[in-house]
Amino acid sequence: MRFGVIVFPGSNCDEDAYYAAKDVFGQEAEYLWHKDTDLKGADVLILPGGFAHGDYLRTGAMARFSPIMGPVRAFAGRGGPVLGICNGFQILLESGLLPGAMLRNRGLKYRCEHVHLRVEQTDTPFTRVAHAGQVLRIPIGHGEGNYFAPVDTLKTIEANRQVVLRYTDPNGVVSDEWNPNGSVNAIAAVCNERRNVVGMMPHPERACEPLLGGVDGRVIFESVLSALTSGGSKGPALQMAGQ
């Protein structure tokens, strides 16, 4: 499997995503420079964390104009699996590939710590080997992760089962106390209607090795590997047009 990791000039988790794909999971991985338009045959795309263009204006607001985003959009349109992590999630929101927007964290401070997440949906390429209700312990690191959507949009994405992960307590119960940033409906990850594009604020690439204090992020990578390999355990493997 070949992972394509998009590199904006201010990306800073690009090497971490690349390392997870290549060194932890033994897959092929390519960096894809934001000024290029060639996806180099990637089977899955990751938009990594960071501060794409400094983000002085609004997180991700400029990145959507980078040349690489055209091919990313087309790839997503063909049903290809796309994962946005942290700043990558913010960019997918700004690009309109995912619904909603990000506000400054409640409390206005950057927060870096482990949080607990409940898996809400398992029919996305990034959660398909997880089980519904499973609680994952994965770190966050962001100042603008307070997910927001207008009431109508919120209704739609809840009705369409597009909320993929929610912040919870260690037992999987949603509560205000365990919501680290004030996200509406404790939303930590969403997908598009077609379910092949997923954005998440927590960093699964930071939780793939025991040495780093946890391996709950592995399920995100294992899911997409399963999705891209025919004969996966749950549901049909991804059908990608043009491949």
Q: What's the token pair of residue 138? A: 């994965």
User: Half-sphere exposure of 166 toward its Cβ, with a 13 Å CA cutoff?
Assistant: 19
Nearer to other proteins, 198 or 208 (CB): 208
Q: Which range binds other proteins by CB under 8 A, 7-15, 76-84, 187-195, 221-229?
A: 7-15
Marked catalytic residue, from 86, 116, 120, 144 = 86
Q: How far is the CB of 12 from other proteins (least distance, A)?
A: 2
Using CB under 8 A as the binding rule, the residues of this chain from 121 to 160 that contact other proteins are 139, 141, 143
Q: Which range binds other proteins by CB under 8 A, 53-61, 123-131, 158-166, 221-229?
A: 53-61
- Catalytic residue flag (residue 13): no
- Catalytic residue flag (residue 34): no
Is 222 a binding residue for other proteins by CB under 8 A? The answer is no
- Residue showing tokens 């109508």: 152
Binding residue (CB under 8 A) for other proteins from 211, 231, 236, 241? 211
Gyration radius (Cα) of the chain, Å: 16
- Catalytic residue flag (residue 203): yes
Is 111 a binding residue for other proteins by CB under 8 A? The answer is yes
Those residues whose C-beta lies under 8 Å from the C-beta of residue 33, and which sit 6 or more positions away, are 7, 68
Point out which residues bind other proteins (CB under 8 A): 9-10, 12-13, 15-16, 19-20, 23, 35, 49-51, 53-56, 109-113, 139, 141, 143, 203, 205-206, 208-209, 211-213
Q: Which residues are catalytic?
A: 86, 203, 205
